[in-house]
Chain A
């Protein structure tokens, strides 16, 4: 790691007003940083947390104010610059230029610009499919009439399936999921979990198409849309939601000095250091060494928060913060799915308890016989205990 500027009076410039950005600032203050902290965000809104956008926000259970990251009764001491995104990184002097022409200088620059929803090519006037990444996307879908409508959701990931759950609440007439796997999440989480997730939805009348890719969206004369599939089939729907993943929001860095990986992610070491003195990256826009090696996941809430903590400690010259076991959750209907540990590296999956039909699976992931991960459906107590015990063990052996 290159020696950064550790002074507690230095200027920290955070580029991206999302989850990681908020936590870098918060942690820097917790470490006693007294110098100026600025957070630049391209959205013209207070910084907010995203997970509810595919869940409680979509069916109106929670509102935008409920998603705010900063606590109004105890706000962070930072300067927010909202509404104009960074368009250029400068290393000499260190800082970024925003779209409105302003140059923001920093002794340390932390890039936390997140990711952008991937879209399907669309032909026609309807504007294509809905996506879910930011609050405008969430608002558009929340305001779209769903009752009595035919909905097609592209992508069998958690984001799409969470949205499906809210569409059923809102009285959708028909919901079809188009995914490249027969059982959603099967390759990543094992056959039993994929089957259990599919069962959750089928039980409630959701249909699953054959495992194919969708390649485009076109309009029809009656105002509905058509989702075109790679097997030559087409699905007609009134509303199409595309949840096929996200790509790092790093287009503005493409011609610069930072090293970007094939996905466009900013490549960093496991402290978030980019290789350019004073420049760091974390969250969904970055790929740290252990993520590139497949040891840690990308695009999860917990990962962004932990990376933010690690970067803040590194910038402040505080003792390194250890990683916890990776963790994610997803809410579908009344089922909370939680996974922890190094699930991707396992080579055996064992059902510990529960059943595919019961929506109450508890599954153990093992690597050569050793348990390295766990997943539960409505198993909150078991999953928390596993995470806490593992953290204690990881720390004890550190």
Chain B
């Protein structure tokens, strides 16, 4: 089932938007190239919002430390994070951004749980 999470017009190219209406929160990114992606918002190393990270080459670098996550696969490139984030399926319909949440268990950092 797809959820409408935001409008395309709310997104800024090269930036992420944290969506708190789902739990755990997700981050929706509009890349400079115009593609839209959704991943879990919480870094797997610590409680930092990836939506505030740096987007480049279809990856987002965590705003706190050095790990980057691939927006297509969720894979992490280097420490300190060790685990990938979940990737959610995105569909853009007109100005609506629809997301189908991954059915995998999220890799939340220690001390963070799903509310």
Contact = CB atoms under 8 A, between A and B. Distances in A.
Interface in B66-99: 66, 79-80, 82
A305 B67 CA distance: 13
B111 A61 contact: yes
B22 interface: no
A26 B79 contact: yes
A384 B63 contact: yes
Contacts of B82: 71, 73-74
Contacts of B66: 305
Contact of A56 (B49, B53, B54, B110): B110
A384 B54 contact: yes
B48 interface: yes
Given A73-B82, A388-B61, A66 B110 contact: yes
A108 B46 CA distance: 34
Contacts of A71: 79, 82
B79 A69 contact: yes
Nearest to B76: A71
A56 B63 contact: no
Q: Bin chain A's interface residue count.
A: 20 to 34
Mostly, the B contact residues are loop
Interface in A359-394: 380-381, 383-385, 388
A384 B52 contact: yes
A62 B110 CA distance: 6
Given A56-B110, A380-B49, A385 B54 contact: yes
B57 to A, nearest CB: 12
B52 A381 contact: yes
A220 interface: no
Contacts of B54: 384-385, 388
Contacts of B3: none
A329 interface: yes
Interface in A177-206: none
Interface of B: 15, 46, 48-49, 52-54, 56, 61, 63-64, 66, 79-80, 82, 110-111
6 contacts: A56-B46, A61-B111, A66-B110, A329-B64, A380-B49, A384-B52
The 10 nearest A-B residue pairs measured at CB: A61-B111, A380-B63, A381-B52, A66-B110, A384-B63, A380-B52, A62-B110, A71-B82, A388-B54, A384-B54
Given A66-B110, A383-B63, A384-B54, 4 more contacts: A49-B80, A73-B82, A380-B64, A384-B52
